[in-house]
Amino acid sequence: MRRIFTAVILIPLVVYPVLYGPLYLLVGMQLLCTVLGLWEAFRLLRAISAPAMIGFPLMEVTGYPGGLLFALVFSQVDPSIGANKEMMTALVVLSSIASVAILALALTLGHEIRRLSEGGATFLAVMYVAVPLGLLVWVWRQPDGPFHLLFALVVIWTSDTAGYFIGKKFGKHKSSPRISPNKTWEGTIASFVAALLVGYITARYFWGGDDYFEPMALAAFLNVAGQLGDLAESGLKRRAGVKDSSNLIPGHGGVLDRIDALLFAAPVLWYYWMGKTF
């Protein structure tokens, strides 16, 4: 019940600025989530590789200002300028690589990885948290950006909810018992089908035209990326020996527990927009 009550409060607080702005409110939310997400990511990575993290506190000294700088730069640059487009593309590629590294780190359960340095952890966390959140604000600033950002949020939220409740009620076949024992194939399939349904409804009533493939394909890619993001964060928590990334959000755990899928889905939305526009 507390989980539902918190969601009822938080969803309008997110949807309103996405639909109506203003920009400073959306950027303020972005920076708040960046700081809190980095704090949680640093805690998880430090717990995983504690023996290697001694000496100069790179996470605190460079991680937060670096993450905020990346977040602001990505949300404000104009990609129509060639140099900016190349810079953004390079950093998004780095962010995607960092996400793959985070996923790989999460999947190496049972293996003692003690070589992740403070600098490496700082870089991974900034690429993992700050850059994707900046991309979401950047998409919002483009023509029809609020609609596409809301579409991505609805896909993630709906598929996550469907996967959670279907998996909890009907799930019998574990999909990743070593990483997240509660995840089932039934929940995974339900999540994917829910994403396709959102894509179909959007195509029929809101997208415009007769093209059903594009919104449904985008919804499918967002869902796959989101499920990988959820799996990655679950693996990190399991390796760190914690149930939630923090207890900041009643009934939901931490900020990363709420945006883990979105962090992996954000580059997908950005790649789609860049391919469509440029």
pLDDT surpasses 70 at 220 = yes
Those residues whose C-beta lies under 8 Å from the C-beta of residue 66, and which sit 6 or more positions away, are: 122, 126, 130
Dump pLDDT digits (tens) for 27-44: 889 999 999 999 998 888
Please compute the mean of the pLDDT values over residues 61-77 and round it to a whole number: 78
Q: What are the residue boundaries of the structural domains of the chain, listed by start?
A: 2-277
Choose the weakest-confidence range: 51-65, 157-171, 232-246.
51-65
Range with top average pLDDT, 18-27, 51-60, 107-116: 18-27
How many Å apart are CA 175 and CA 188, to the nearest integer?
A: 8
Amino acid at 173: H
pTM: 0.88
Looking at residue 226, its pLDDT comes to 93
Burial of 243 (0-12, 13-18, 19+ CB in 10 A): exposed
Q: Categorize the per-residue pLDDT at 245 as very low, low, confident or very high, splitting at 50, 70 and 90.
A: confident
Higher pLDDT, residue 1 or 123? 123
- pLDDT tens for each residue of 178-219: 777 778 889 899 999 999 999 999 998 888 767 788 999 999
Residues contacting 153, CB < 8 A, separation 6+: 14, 15, 18, 262
Which pLDDT belongs to residue 110?
Answer: 45
Rounded to whole angstroms, the Cα distance separating 6 from 22 reads 24
